[in-house]
């Protein structure tokens, strides 16, 4: 009988999104776990199903633990319930946007992402105006698919994948790896990646050091000063501050206002725009700050 449960486990491992069905169908999540008891049920209820959908390694570890705890004869109904969901979940397993499914703000959109097989499947559940980060992630995954499919060697393909692994600007080491592994024999990959990760050298970033004091967070102020001393591109500075505890660029945040307005004022002929005149939402501010030139930033603000 124990071998039978192991065979169930083998089937489950094949589909990366298997247990996600318990999340997708809402009530069925409780139903499947309710077929278990004791430590098996506790493990089932504690699973982070969305995380397992986007992280194959975590999926395998979690399922091995579940298999060890749920191998008793009384678990037949539990495994049958899980296996019944395999076909539906695996339909969207190969969709390029699956790694982004942990990002949506709404549960409705997250469920739609886990079930989706294409971008069209999201239209009724995920509004672009509400899920900016989510759609940005999908666009990044699509760009990665277009660039990396041209790789002729495994080393170039791996270097290419690392460029699109998260939502931040690739580090200098990642960019250098593309040149090292793809410059010879993979010109299309290198050209595609460079067109996507264009970075702008920061113009005397130390001039913005006073902006760090605008943050109310001690951690952010420390990270801000260190980032301005070490990073050399505008994109890396934005990403460093965002990851370091300063949060995303928001119009009501004095730190980000200082950076953006200071960059405009530092341009020859520029003038400091009063913060109350910056009529824009957070999405527009973030776009303006990532402009390749100061002149473009000014036009974006205006």
pLDDT the model gives residue 181: 93
pLDDT the model gives residue 286: 59
Q: What is the mean pLDDT of residues 41-65?
A: 78
pLDDT the model gives residue 155: 94
Cα 249 from Cα 257, distance rounded (Å): 8
What is the share, in percent, of the chain residues with pLDDT greater than 90?
Answer: 19
Tell me the range of 11-15, 56-60, 154-158, 264-268 where mean pLDDT is highest: 154-158
pLDDT the model gives residue 88: 62
CA 282 to chain centre: 18
pLDDT the model gives residue 182: 92
Cα 49 from Cα 45, distance rounded (Å): 10
Name the strand (E) or helix (H) holding 83: helix 76-84
Answer whether residue 107 shows pLDDT above 90.
Answer: no
Higher-pLDDT residue of 31 and 66 is 66
- pTM for the predicted model, two decimal places: 0.61
Cα 218 from Cα 246, distance rounded (Å): 10
Q: What is the mean pLDDT of residues 59-84?
A: 80
């Amino acid at each position: 009988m124990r071998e039978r449960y192991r065979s169930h486990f083998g089937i489950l491992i094949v589909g990366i999104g298997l247990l996600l069905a318990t999340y997708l169908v809402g009530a069925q999540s409780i139903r499947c776990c309710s077929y278990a008891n004791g430590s098996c049920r506790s493990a089932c209820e504690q699973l982070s199903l969305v995380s397992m959908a986007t992280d194959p390694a975590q999926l395998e570890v979690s399922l091995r633990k579940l298999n060890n705890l749920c191998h008793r004869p009384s678990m037949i109904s539990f495994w049958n319930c899980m296996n019944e969901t395999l076909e539906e979940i695996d339909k969207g397993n190969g969709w390029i946007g699956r790694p982004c499914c942990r990002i949506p703000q709404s549960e409705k959109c997250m469920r739609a992402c886990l079930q989706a097989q294409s971008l069209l499947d999201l239209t009724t559940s995920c509004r672009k105006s509400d899920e900016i980060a989510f759609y940005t992630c999908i666009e990044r995954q699509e760009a990665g698919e277009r660039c990396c499919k041209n790789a002729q060697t495994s080393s170039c393909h791996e270097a290419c994948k690392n460029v699109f692994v998260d939502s931040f600007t690739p580090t200098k080491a990642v960019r250098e790896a593309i040149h090292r592994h793809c410059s010879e024999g993979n010109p299309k990959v290198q050209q595609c990646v460079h067109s996507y990760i264009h970075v702008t050298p920061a113009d005397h970033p130390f001039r913005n050091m006073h902006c760090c004091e605008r943050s109310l967070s001690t951690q952010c102020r420390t990270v801000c000063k260190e980032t301005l001393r070490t990073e050399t591109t505008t994109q890396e500075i934005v990403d460093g501050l965002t990851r370091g505890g300063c949060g995303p660029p928001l119009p009501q945040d004095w730190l980000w206002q200082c950076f953006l307005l200071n960059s405009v004022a530092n341009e020859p002929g520029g003038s400091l725009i009063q913060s109350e005149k910056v009529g824009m939402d957070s999405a527009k501010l973030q776009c303006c700050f990532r402009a390749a030139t100061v002149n473009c930033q000014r036009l974006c603000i205006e």
